């Protein structure tokens, strides 16, 4: 099975940088992002418009050009996770995690026995359509696949230790906008309240060996938290990149 380069870099203490694709469906997009130097890409099935066939094709391209493919699944359901993993995603992120039981289910749905309950089909996209020894494959897949929880609700903060201490959870990514909304506070990303939230997630992740980060379009905030120690950094989306590039050009030309 293909090595997960994100896992290897994080275990060496390096920060990894990715982005999120919500609208674009051309197989050129993962190649362009790899050429730009991104380490990973999230294909967004929560807010994005892609179906499973499109996601599977984008994953294949990402695997072939050296950028690690992750999927943000729309919900915590077995078939939504397992099909993306079978297609070759090297990890996934589950949104709206609030309880330890949900974290345990995310691990269980994505890991093969004895760690979980995922059904096995070896010669799929996750193994580049090759066969192999069953037990070797199961062991490698359980080691390489990357489980990320999206921490974006007040309820998650109230049970954070229980959530991030679940065996098999590899990463936790903050959703700042949803977090602020769940508390009913302004999304003041540099304010004392939100800073305290971010700090608590990072410190709790460190306690349990879970890599932490956030997904945000605000470059200055992301750089600040990289300096503070966050390592799993997702910057902007395809929509954000197009809007920014288009606005810059038209501003100069007019």
At residue 91, the pLDDT reads 97
Please tell me the distance from the alpha carbon of residue 24 to that of residue 241, in angstroms, as a whole number. Answer: 11
Per residue in 68-80, pLDDT (tens digit) is 999 999 999 999 9
At residue 251, the pLDDT reads 85
At residue 59, the pLDDT reads 98
Give 38's Cβ-side CA count (13 Å radius): 26
Q: Name the pLDDT band for 138 (thresholds 50, 70, 90).
A: very high
Contact status, residue 73 vs residue 89, Cβ threshold 8 Å = no
Per residue in 151-178, pLDDT (tens digit) is 999 999 999 999 999 999 999 999 999 9
At residue 9, the pLDDT reads 97
Q: Name the pLDDT band for 14 (thresholds 50, 70, 90).
A: very high
Which of 36-40, 85-89, 105-109, 123-127 is predicted least confidently?
A: 123-127
* Residue ranges in the chain assigned as alpha helix (H): 5-11, 28-36, 52-65, 78-87, 100-110, 134-144, 154-158, 160-164, 176-183, 192-208, 219-228, 238-253
pLDDT higher than threshold 90 for residue 254: no
What are the structural domains of the chain? 5-253 (3.20.20.60)
Please tell me the distance from the alpha carbon of residue 113 to that of residue 50, in angstroms, as a whole number. Answer: 30
Total-model pTM = 0.95
Per residue in 177-215, pLDDT (tens digit) is 999 999 999 888 889 999 999 999 999 999 999 999 999
For the range 119-123, what are the long-range contacts, defined as Cβ-Cβ under 8 Å and sequence gap of 24 or more?
119/82, 121/86
pLDDT higher than threshold 90 for residue 53: yes
Q: Name the pLDDT band for 132 (thresholds 50, 70, 90).
A: confident
Contact status, residue 156 vs residue 173, Cβ threshold 8 Å = no
* Residue ranges in 66-132 assigned as alpha helix (H): 78-87, 100-110
Average pLDDT, the chain: 96
φ, ψ (nearest 5 deg) of residue 130: -105, 155
At residue 64, the pLDDT reads 95
Please tell me the distance from the alpha carbon of residue 59 to that of residue 61, in angstroms, as a whole number. Answer: 5
pLDDT higher than threshold 90 for residue 131: no
At residue 190, the pLDDT reads 87
Q: Given 47, 50, 126, 215, which residue is catalytic?
A: 47
Token code pair at residue 236: 């902007």
The predicted model gives 52-69 an average pLDDT of 97
The predicted model gives 82-96 an average pLDDT of 97
Prior bond of 114 cis (ω within 30°): yes
**Sequence-ordered list of residues with C-beta below 8 angstroms from that of 10, at least 6 positions apart, any chain:** 16, 211, 231, 232
**Catalytic annotation present for 47:** yes
pLDDT higher than threshold 90 for residue 241: yes
């Amino acid at each position: 099975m293909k090595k997960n380069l994100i896992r290897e870099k994080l275990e060496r203490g390096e920060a990894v940088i990715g982005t999120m694709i919500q609208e674009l469906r051309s197989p050129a997009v993962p190649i362009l992002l790899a050429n730009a130097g991104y380490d990973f890409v999230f294909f967004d099935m929560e807010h994005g418009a892609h179906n499973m066939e499109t996601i599977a094709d984008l994953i294949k391209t990402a695997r072939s050009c050296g950028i690690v493919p992750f999927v943000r699944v729309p919900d915590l359901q077995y078939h939504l996770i397992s099909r993306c993993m079978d297609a070759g995603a090297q990890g996934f992120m589950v949104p709206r995690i609030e309880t330890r039981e949900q974290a345990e289910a995310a691990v269980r749905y994505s890991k093969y026995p004895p760690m979980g309950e995922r059904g096995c089909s070896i010669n799929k996209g996750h193994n580049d359509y090759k066969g192999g020894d069953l037990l070797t494959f199961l062991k490698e897949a359980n080691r390489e696949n990357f489980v990320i929880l999206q921490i974006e609700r007040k309820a998650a903060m109230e049970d954070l230790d229980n959530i991030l201490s679940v065996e098999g959870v590899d990463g936790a990514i903050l959703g700042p906008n949803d977090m602020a909304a769940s508390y009913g506070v302004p999304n003041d990303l540099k304010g004392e309240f939100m800073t305290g939230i971010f700090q608590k997630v990072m410190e709790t992740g460190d306690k349990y060996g879970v890599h932490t980060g956030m997904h945000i379009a605000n470059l200055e905030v992301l750089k600040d938290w990289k300096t503070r120690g966050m390592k799993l950094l997702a910057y902007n989306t395809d929509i954000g990149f197009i809007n920014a590039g288009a606005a810059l050009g038209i501003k100069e030309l007019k």
